[in-house]
Amino acid sequence: MLRIKSSLTGALFVLLFIGTASAQKPKLVKTKVNQELTVVVPKGWTAMDAMDFTQRYPSVRAPLAAYTNEERTIDFSINVSATQWPDANLEISQQFFKASLMNMFDRVEMIGEGVREVNKKKFVFFEFTSRVNGIKRQEGNQSPVLKYTYIQYLVEPSRTLVFSFNCPQREMEDWQETAREMMDRIRIK
C-alpha cells in the first residue's frame, strides 16, 4: 500500500513538472529592426545571417530581419514583399495572399484569417498548419513536412511588409501563444 502511494505521488510529481515545463512561455525581448520598426523575439534567439536565410528560405529579396531559435527549427522573419498595392486595398490583397499561400503547400488548414488592428495599423493575417508532401523518388525527401505558420501583412500604398512565424507542427501547442503575442507587439512608426 505504501509503495502504491509513493508511486502515485511520484507520477503526480512528474506530470506536474511536465505541465509546468511546457506551460512556461519564453521571455520576449524588444528588438529594433530599423528606425521605424520594433518587434519582440524570444530571449536567446539569434539573427540569421544572409547565408543561413538564403539556404532555408530561397528568395530574391533579403529579409529586413530574420531570427531563429538555438536549434534552428523555429523562425520569425520580416520581409518587404515584391507585391505592392497602390490603393492599399486590404480585401483584394487578402484574397491574393490567401491564394498564394494555398498554392505553396499541398494542404493548408486555416486556424484563423482576416484583417486585424495592431498598434493602430491594419494587418491582413493568416494562421494555419500546412503540409508539403515528400517526393517519393528523391532520397532524403520522402517524409511530408508539417508546419505551423502565423503570417501578417502590412499593406500600404508604397510597400507591403510581411511578418512570418514558422515552427514544426508538432511544436505548435508550445509556440502558438508566443507567435500571437509576437504579432500583437509589432510597432511601426
Nearest Cα residue to 122 out of 110, 114, 134, 130: 114
pLDDT digits 0-9 by tens, 21-36: 445 789 999 999 999 9
**Which overall architecture, per CATH, does domain 26-188 show?**
3-Layer(aba) Sandwich (3.40)
Mean pLDDT of 3-23: 46
Mean pLDDT of 133-153: 81
Q: What is the DSSP string of the chain?
A: -HHHHHHHHHHHHHHHHHHHHHHPPPPEEEEE-SSSEEEEEETT-EEPPHHHHHHHS--SSPPSEEEE-TTS--EEEEEE-S---TT--HHHHHHHHHHHHHHHSSEEEEEEEEEEEETTEEEEEEEEEEEE---TTSTT--S-EEEEEEEEEEE-SS-EEEEEEEEEGGGHHHHHHHHHHHHHT-EE-
50 pLDDT exceeds 70? yes
Note the pLDDT of residue 109. 97
Note the pLDDT of residue 87. 77
Mean pLDDT of 159-184: 97
Mean pLDDT of 144-170: 94
Exposure on the CB side of residue 68, measured as CA atoms within 13 A:
12
11 pLDDT exceeds 50? no
Nearest Cα residue to 182 out of 46, 81, 106, 75: 75
Provide the whole-model pTM.
0.82
Q: Residue 134: pLDDT band by 50, 70, 90 thresholds?
A: confident
Cβ atoms of residues 131 and 107 within 8 Å: yes
Mean pLDDT of 79-104: 88
17 pLDDT exceeds 60? no
Q: Considering only residues 13 and 107, tell me which one the structure prediction assigns the higher pLDDT.
A: 107
Cell for 106?
499541398
Q: Residue 167: pLDDT band by 50, 70, 90 thresholds?
A: very high
162 pLDDT exceeds 50? yes
Domain ranges (residues) in the chain:
26-188
Cβ atoms of residues 67 and 43 within 8 Å: no
Q: Considering only residues 104 and 61, tell me which one the structure prediction assigns the higher pLDDT.
A: 104
